[in-house]
Structure 1
Amino acid sequence: MWRNYFTVAVNALAKNRVYSIINLLGLAIGMAACLMILAFIRYETSYDRWVPDGENTYQFQTWWPDPSDGNPLFLQMSSYITAERLKKDFPQVEAVSYVLGGTPSITKNGQVTTAKDYLTADSDFLRVVDLPILKGSKTALNAPDTAVLTRSEAIRQFGTDDVVGRTISLIQKGRTYDYRINAVLADLPKRSHLRINAIVRRDFPSYFAQEPDFLTCWGCQSGWVYAKLKPGTDAGAINAQLPAWEKRNIPDENIGGTRYNAGDETDWTLVPLADVHLGKAQAGAMSPGNDRRTIATFAIIAVLILGMAVVNFTNLATARAGQRAREVALRKVLGATRRQLVAQFVGESLLVAGIAVLIALALAELLVRPFAAFLGADFHLTYLGENGMLLPALALMLIVGVAGGLYPAFFLSRFQPASVLKANKSSTETPGSGLLRSLLVVAQFAISIGLIICTAIVYGQTVYARSVDPGYKRDQILQVDNMSRYQLIGRGEPIAERMKRIPGVVAVGRTDIGVATKNSNNTGVLVPGRAEAVNLGFYKVDVGFREAMGIELVAGRWFDRARPMDDQTRSFPEKPEELQALVARGSNIVVNEFAARKLGARTPEEVLGKTFRLGVGPGNGEMPITVVGVVKDSRFRSVRDPIDPIMFIGTREGQTHMVIRYTGDPAATRAAVERVWKDSVSDVPFEAQFSEAIVQDLYEAEETRAQIFAGFAILAVVIACLGLFGLAAFTAERRTKEIGIRKVLGARTPDIVRLLVWQFSRPVLIANVIAWPLAWWAMRDWLNGFDTRMALTPTPFLVAGGLALGIAVVTIAGHAFKVARANPIRALRYE
């Protein structure tokens, strides 16, 4: 019996080649997309699950979920003191490690290069995070001044991975440290939030002996804290005790008679290592993370595209049901039961799904590597093992085969032999009104139109983000990094003066905010008459910063070298007597418009000359600060982030970046700047980026998302049009006699084409009515994630609807024209 079913199924596929190709191609495209997205989702959700004992390893994060002033912030970093107190107060914690990031300089053969992804850690890091070691042991960092390198970094620096016992020299905090290499790590998989080329061991209390506040500061989140819990420990129970732990450990401060506590708005949370990549906290990460909404969106789109392919199968199977009506009737007359008929047609569906799976796997193999490269991921298809695709492919075949074949099977098996075998019953007639087929076509095009709208809006927002006025002149800026190196203390101003003499350089300024830097520094300003401090961004700039950035002065003046109160420069490390003299003297500041409003001014002019007070740390009192100027609000970060209320302080040292405004050839300017840098600085590598490239990188994720939506939209449209093409072919065949009669009665070819095109245009028009409000709701929610956004106009909706309608018309117009031009004599002899 099954052999007979198989023979009939193969003959049916061979007899109706157009139907078979459309079904197989549609299902294969849908399945291939589904399998590739499944591979991507598995990759994203497998981050750091390869770490041994990872279920007991946690990152200790700092969260500000409900600040009274400003926006929620979730940070992966934490302060040094939290590691010390966490280990001391919770016996469930087996070990804790504090890790600093940074880019020290490597000195080798008289040359200085930048060391990327070099971590500075304490002795317990390898005990807490169990990284794979190729040579050496887990105790590699137990001794001071020791290091471990990854295999790739060892080869990069020494030409071999046989480096245990060798020495590597790094410049950190202005000093050269020699580290003995005690171990070689295996290169970490890309599916890790950790970015490590090397780990060097330092004793932090002595390393920060000149900055003791760093070791006790609860608000200085500049490194990462990792904790290993004892097996069986409930991390949730520890998290529940952390609010009380904060109150026990964090001391109150009195600033201007106002009580301040660093833990009032701050929460600390233990987050499992495997949840860091997709976790709530993405600020201060070693590597870019992702969010669960993106992963869920991918999964939903995969299901929708696969559902469209199944809809095609169901539609075409029911549309051509009339052609198999007599076969079903004869089988029933010869004794076939309905259950046998259902089994036959579901079996045919499974055969089609099986062939489609084979084609889908071939397509996925061809496309998965370009897809992974486009996403910046490192995944591929495997068929066996934990992440094997064989079982999902078989499950996909069964689900699609049964889901796509069940309704047609019941639909075909219900035919009554007597009514079907009547002499005047046309074999091309399909029972029913076709309402379900129309509804499914509407659903397909609603999905397609929705994805086209999403693509247009995501792309439009990306273009808008790049072109919206940031409040400063964002083009023709070369931003030089590395200005924060200790070696440059006292040398920044002379370097800037030399840069100004380069032909084509218009202005040079130094800052610690700049174009899309990751620097974030806030402080509380005491306003007379207010019980709570006003939180403002606190950034150092020099006199040339405003001109170099092209920021507009709204009221008052900018900093002036001739005015001592405009300069807060003091020696480093800070001398107590200098700090006390500065606090007693006070200082001038410049604020942006937003900060002026937060300080209580209704107009920029109203805040000029007002004096506020700034806490300078425990035991140092409060410094009077006077506003002398107001500048236009500037968006230094992504449009996703709100504009900061900023207070600028003038200083000749301490900035992290140099901003160079230029005219003329960018490459020539960069080369000239690099030459001057190397002539001035021999112990700090030159690193610089053009502002255009920085902004490009800033919105790369949005652009990638737009391209992904575009790819999905194309797939959806292709699948929908395949189904529409098949339905149009069968409908034209079914209406052959009707068309012949219409032509005999005087209908012209354009009339016939218009009739057939209108039949399939109506579902597309109805699909617009469904897709538009759903897409508007989804994209409005997405756009709300941006602080400034494009207007949600009707244009993308009208364009998407018109595009879908045009594609549908082109898809069916060929059939319609061919049938309309046919000789009516042939049509009337049909059957």
Structure 2
Amino acid sequence: MWRNYLTVGLRALSKNKVYAVVNILGLAIGLAACLLILLYVRYERSYDEWLPGNDRIYQFQSTYQSKTTSDHFENQGAPYVTKAALLKDFPQIEHATYFGGGVRVTLLKDGRAYTTDDAGLTDSPFFDVLPLPMARGDHQALVQPGTVALSESQATKLFGTTDIIGRTLTAMAMGVKADYRITAVFKDLPKNSHLAIDTLIRADFPSLYAQGHNAEFLTQWGWTGGWVYVKLRPGVDVAALNTQMTAWEKRNIPDTYDEGKPQNIGDERDYALVNVRDVHLGKAQRAAMTTGNDSATIATFAIVALLILAMACMNFTNLATARASQRAREVALRKVLGATRRQLVTQFLGESMLLAALSMLAALAFTEVALPWFAQFLDADLELHYLGRDGMLVPVLALIVLVGAAGGIYPALYLSRFEPARVLKANKSASEAEGSGRLRSGLVILQFAVSIGLMICTAVVYGQTLYARNLDPGYDREGLVQVSGISSEAFEGRQEALIRSVKALPGVENAGRTGIAVNTDNTSSTTVRVTGRSDPVDIGIYSADPGYFPTMGIRTLVGRTFDRNRPADDMTTPFPEVPAAEKALAARGANVVINEAGVKRLGFASPQAALGKTLRYGTKDEYGGSMLLTIIGVVADSRFRPINTPIEPILFYWNDNSAHWLVARFKGDPAKVSADIERIWRSMAPDVAFGARFADQILERGYRRMEARGQMFALFALLAIIVGCLGLFGLAAFTAERRTKEIGIRKVLGARTGNIVRLLIWQFARPVVVANVIAWPIAWWVMRDWLNQFDARMALGPLPFVAAGLLALAIAVVTIGGHAFRVARTNPVHALRYE
């Protein structure tokens, strides 16, 4: 019986080659898209699963919610002091470690300074918590201070080999240079990890931070400069631990006092343990080591892939019901000869499974060919395995069954219900078998609604990308270079000389120092009080010297910026702190500049109204006392962060000790300017790594993720259009075949070729028009929510919707136009001989 079913199925496919090709190709495209996205989703959800014991390893995250504003963010980092407090209060924690240090680490080798964002300090045996895979050495490598572990790539870069156990590496942090003994080389971390580490330095934190005059970092609850990880004992309920965090905060975070009133930083912060497998797709993406993702994006692409697969199944249903008339007599004869409806359903479902299996073979071939490109495009280690833990054999077989059943169940039920008497009676034509075209029209409408919706999404994403590129950031991004590391102690007392030397270079027009530059990750905020008001206000606070604003090209709206000839503008005091100098500064006060967002945050009606107003900064109980700040100018808002981050209200002050970046404005060859600045840099501080970044390149990297999302939507839209057009072409071919006699009669009665072409085109163009009515509101709702995540966004006008609708209509017309023209030109004699 099964052999007979297979024979009949293969004969049916070979007899209708157009039907077979359209269905197999359409299903193959849908299945290939589904397989690629399945691999991508599985990859995104596999982050850090490679870590042994990952179910017990947690990152300690913090959440900030301002009491006075709507400022809110989830932070993967945590203050250093939290680690000791966790170990003290929670015996459920087996081990804990800290990584980061809040400082820039410079590696020194052969007279050259190297720096990397992936180097950091640790205060304890790091591998007890995070057992990274080892290339050389073991997990006891960082038991003692004064040791260091390198990744394979870092070891090869510095030493040319990984056989370096026992050798010495010199590193500098906070101006403190020390030698560290290399005790391990760990394997390069895979891409599916939220960790980004190439150098782990086991330091003596109290001694190092005391030498670096930064001992406060170890005790401050408001300073986040690294990551805390814990390993729980077996069987611990992490949800129960997280419920105790509020009480833990109250026990450990001390009160501070403002004019005698107690305040607690814990009132604006919450803490929680998050499993390492959930970090990559978690809510906290601030202070992340690597670029994370979000579950909504993953779910969106998965849904789109399923929609394309559903479109392919619709093609199968559409074409199977359209050609039902050709198999009506076959069904009737089988019933007369004793076939039951169950047997017929089984036969047609079997044919559907056969078609799905053939399509899957083609889909696997497409996937194998496209996977290297797809993996490179996503910068992901995607691999297709059929067997093993990550094998795709089971999903492949499941998809064959699901797709075969989904695409074949309705045609099987539809074909098997034909009544033999009605079909076989002498005056009943096979082409007149019962059946309405409403279902087929409905499926075509759904197919093109999906295609139009994806085209709209693609247009909006690309439109927002272009909008972001052309948006005025509030500064001149052309010819702007920034260099980090100017706050190093190696430049102490020589920063001004460095600025003068840079400004004297050919092509350099201006230079300055700052605590905030283009897309820097640092965040600094404080609380001030407007004179005459009692409520405190949170506002960002960053340093800027007199050269910063003209170098950046930031416009002054009212008042002025800092002037070297006005001592009251300068808040720089000796470092380390000298009590007398701090008290003198607090007593005399200082001048500050705010941006437009700062005007609104502080509650002033306009920039002009803010000019000359005073703010109270600090508390009477703090070291040096509180200080009166006078607003001397208001500058235009500048977008230093990505476009999805709101513009920060900022208070600029001039303090050279807090300036971490050198910025320079230039004309000419960027490479030459960078080389000239590096030459001066190395002549003054050879132990400080040099790393120049150009503003336009920084912004370009910021747009890549948005562009990648747009390209993904464009790819899916193209696949959806191809699948939809395949179905439309096949449906048009069968419909034209059924209307051959009608077309012949129309031509005999005088209809012209153009009339018949328009008739056939309109029959299939009408569902596309209706599809727009469905797709437009859904796409508008989805893209409106997507655009709302951006602080600045394009207007969601009618152009993407109208353009997508017209493009879909044009594609449909082109798809069926050629076929309609060929049918319309057929000789009526042949058409009337059809029966």
Distance (Å, rounded) in 2 between the aligned partners of 1:755 and 1:186: 67
- Quote how far apart the aligned CAs of 1:666 are: 3.0
- Quote how far apart the aligned CAs of 1:580 are: 2.0
Deviations 1:379-417 (A, max 9, x none): 111111222111100000000011111110111111111
- Quote how far apart the aligned CAs of 1:473 are: 1.7
Deviations 1:449-490 (A, max 9, x none): 000000000110111111111222222211222323332233
Q: What residue in structure 2 maps to residue 208 of structure 1?
A: 209
Q: Which amino acid aligns with 1:413?
A: S
Distance (Å, rounded) in 2 between the aligned partners of 1:73 and 1:282: 9
Once the two structures are overlaid, the 10-residue window that deviates more, 175-184 or 290-299, is 175-184
Deviations 1:686-745 (A, max 9, x none): 211221111111121111100000000000000000000000100111111101111111
- Quote how far apart the aligned CAs of 1:291 are: 0.4
- Quote how far apart the aligned CAs of 1:599 are: 2.1
* Conserved? CA contact 2:68–2:538, under 8 Å: no
1:140 and 2:141 correspond: yes
Q: Which amino acid aligns with 1:28?
A: A
- Quote how far apart the aligned CAs of 1:172 are: 1.7
- Quote how far apart the aligned CAs of 1:377 are: 1.1
Q: What residue in structure 1 maps to residue 649 of structure 2?
A: 645
Distance (Å, rounded) in 2 between the aligned partners of 1:610 and 1:269: 41
1:791 and 2:792 correspond: no
Change (3 A) 1:429 1:169: farther
Q: What residue in structure 2 maps to residue 45 of structure 1?
A: 45
Q: What residue in structure 2 maps to residue 544 of structure 1?
A: 547
Q: What residue in structure 2 maps to residue 557 of structure 1?
A: 560
Deviations 1:552-600 (A, max 9, x none): 1111111010111111112222222222222222111011122123223
Q: What residue in structure 2 maps to residue 521 of structure 1?
A: 524
Q: Which amino acid aligns with 1:490?
A: G
1:71 and 2:98 correspond: no
* Conserved? CA contact 2:68–2:537, under 8 Å: no
Q: Which amino acid aligns with 2:787?
A: L
Once the two structures are overlaid, the 10-residue window that deviates more, 153-162 or 177-186, is 153-162
Deviations 1:493-543 (A, max 9, x none): 211111111222221121121111112100001223433311111001111
* Conserved? CA contact 1:258–1:532, under 8 Å: no
1:261 and 2:264 correspond: yes
Distance (Å, rounded) in 2 between the aligned partners of 1:689 and 1:379: 31
Residue in structure 1 matching 2:744, options 728, 740, 745: 740
Distance (Å, rounded) in 2 between the aligned partners of 1:150 and 1:600: 51
Q: Structure 2: any 5+ residue segments left out of the alignment?
A: none
Distance (Å, rounded) in 1 between the aligned partners of 2:622 and 2:93: 31
Distance (Å, rounded) in 2 between the aligned partners of 1:587 and 1:482: 26
* Conserved? CA contact 2:106–2:113, under 8 Å: yes
* Conserved? CA contact 2:66–2:538, under 8 Å: no
Change (3 A) 1:66 1:25: farther
Distance (Å, rounded) in 1 between the aligned partners of 2:762 and 2:181: 79
Q: What residue in structure 2 maps to residue 447 of structure 1?
A: 450
Deviations 1:254-313 (A, max 9, x none): 223554211111101111111111111000001111001011101111110110011011
Q: What residue in structure 2 maps to residue 186 of structure 1?
A: 187
- Quote how far apart the aligned CAs of 1:65 are: 4.6
Residue in structure 1 matching 2:398, options 395, 400, 404: 395
Counterpart of 1:826 in 2: which secondary structure? helix
Counterpart of 1:445 in 2: which secondary structure? helix
Counterpart of 1:263 in 2: which secondary structure? helix
Once the two structures are overlaid, the 10-residue window that deviates more, 172-181 or 440-449, is 172-181
Change (3 A) 1:66 1:576: closer
Q: What residue in structure 2 maps to residue 110 of structure 1?
A: 111
Distance (Å, rounded) in 1 between the aligned partners of 2:100 and 2:254: 25
* Conserved? CA contact 1:442–1:764, under 8 Å: yes
* Conserved? CA contact 1:492–1:653, under 8 Å: no
Counterpart of 1:718 in 2: which secondary structure? helix
Q: What residue in structure 1 maps to residue 93 of structure 2?
A: 93
Deviations 1:53-105 (A, max 9, x none): 11111101110256531321000011011111111111111121111166522
Deviations 1:145-177 (A, max 9, x none): 001122232222222222111111112221221
1:3 and 2:3 correspond: yes
Q: What residue in structure 1 maps to residue 162 of structure 2?
A: 161
Distance (Å, rounded) in 1 between the aligned partners of 2:722 and 2:268: 52
- Quote how far apart the aligned CAs of 1:812 are: 0.3
Distance (Å, rounded) in 1 between the aligned partners of 2:610 and 2:104: 40
Q: What residue in structure 2 maps to residue 687 of structure 1?
A: 691
Once the two structures are overlaid, the 10-residue window that deviates more, 571-580 or 332-341, is 571-580
Distance (Å, rounded) in 1 between the aligned partners of 2:115 and 2:108: 9
1:626 and 2:630 correspond: yes
Moved over 4 A (4+): none
Change (3 A) 1:778 1:67: farther
Distance (Å, rounded) in 2 between the aligned partners of 1:56 and 1:766: 54
Count of aligned pairs between the two proteins: 831
Pairwise mapping of residues 22-33 of structure 1 onto structure 2 (< 5 A)? 22-33=22-33
Q: Which amino acid aligns with 1:460?
A: G
Once the two structures are overlaid, the 10-residue window that deviates more, 259-268 or 343-352, is 259-268
* Conserved? CA contact 1:489–1:654, under 8 Å: no
Distance (Å, rounded) in 2 between the aligned partners of 1:115 and 1:470: 28
* Conserved? CA contact 2:769–2:805, under 8 Å: yes
Distance (Å, rounded) in 2 between the aligned partners of 1:430 and 1:82: 77
Distance (Å, rounded) in 1 between the aligned partners of 2:123 and 2:468: 41
Once the two structures are overlaid, the 10-residue window that deviates more, 616-625 or 700-709, is 616-625
Distance (Å, rounded) in 1 between the aligned partners of 2:478 and 2:67: 34
Counterpart of 2:121 in 1: which secondary structure? strand
Distance (Å, rounded) in 1 between the aligned partners of 2:482 and 2:539: 24
Q: What residue in structure 2 maps to residue 287 of structure 1?
A: 290
**TM-score, normalised to structure 1's length?**
0.98
Pairwise mapping of residues 432-831 of structure 1 onto structure 2 (< 5 A)? 432-615=435-618, 618-831=622-835
1:170 and 2:171 correspond: yes
- Quote how far apart the aligned CAs of 1:116 are: 4.6
Change (3 A) 1:231 1:66: farther
Counterpart of 2:679 in 1: which secondary structure? helix
Pairwise mapping of residues 117-132 of structure 1 onto structure 2 (< 5 A)? 117-132=118-133
Change (3 A) 1:124 1:173: same
Counterpart of 2:268 in 1: which secondary structure? coil
1:418 and 2:415 correspond: no
Q: Which amino acid aligns with 2:457?
A: C
Q: Which amino acid aligns with 1:815?
A: H
Report the RMSD for the aligned CA atoms in angstroms: 1.5
Distance (Å, rounded) in 2 between the aligned partners of 1:258 and 1:165: 55
Change (3 A) 1:103 1:211: closer
- Quote how far apart the aligned CAs of 1:119 are: 2.2
- Quote how far apart the aligned CAs of 1:601 are: 1.7
* Conserved? CA contact 1:103–1:117, under 8 Å: no
Q: Which amino acid aligns with 2:543?
A: K
Q: Structure 1: any 5+ residue segments left out of the alignment?
A: none
Counterpart of 2:244 in 1: which secondary structure? helix
Percentage of identical aligned residues: 56
Change (3 A) 1:749 1:768: same
Q: Which amino acid aligns with 1:496?
A: I
Distance (Å, rounded) in 2 between the aligned partners of 1:224 and 1:145: 20
Change (3 A) 1:811 1:67: farther
Counterpart of 1:286 in 2: which secondary structure? coil
Q: Which amino acid aligns with 1:160?
A: T
- Quote how far apart the aligned CAs of 1:425 are: 2.6
Once the two structures are overlaid, the 10-residue window that deviates more, 527-536 or 603-612, is 527-536
* Conserved? CA contact 1:122–1:141, under 8 Å: no
**TM-score, normalised to structure 2's length?**
0.97
* Conserved? CA contact 2:465–2:703, under 8 Å: yes
Counterpart of 1:697 in 2: which secondary structure? helix
Q: Which amino acid aligns with 1:451?
A: L
Counterpart of 2:656 in 1: which secondary structure? coil
